[in-house]
Structure 1
Amino acid sequence: MEWIVYILECADRTLYTGITNDLSRRLAQHNAGKGAKYTRGRGPLTLVYRETCTDRSQASRREIEIKALNRSQKIKLIKSN
């Protein structure tokens, strides 16, 4: 099963990083206000980055790495994609 690390840009220009094995379902959850607590009320949300991982463990490690970046480093990552 393929796992995806993704970054969403919220309407307030903040960035949210998460993982999923079904990106379209997860985006629908976020946009319906049923995703992460952080994204509720911050829509509309825009998918700005996605990265495929081989398993959940790799995706979780990568999510932690991305979350440790500061905003300018995340913007650089998004632009490099």
Structure 2
Amino acid sequence: MDYFDTRLVVLVTSLVALLLYFLASVTLVPYVARGKGRTGIGWMLTSLLFSPLLALVALAALPVGDNPEPINPFDADRP
């Protein structure tokens, strides 16, 4: 194996590790958001747009939501 092959292996391995970290972080954010009474999909999109770590820090700073169930605007029985 020459020098360029070794560098390519290191580069590909690093990119795969970074991708796995990013995917794990993005899938963790909705679980934390739902646990705090927030919308999981909204926070997942926020973590994709900005950063999963930034979204987790923002979720940690927010208080627990009052209503864990989302409001359905088409529900006739809601107050």
Normalization by structure 1: what TM-score?
0.31
Larger Rg: 2
Report which of the two has the higher share of helix. 2
TM-score between both structures, scaled by the size of structure 2? 0.32
Higher strand share: 1
Higher relative contact order (CA 8 A, sep 6+): 1
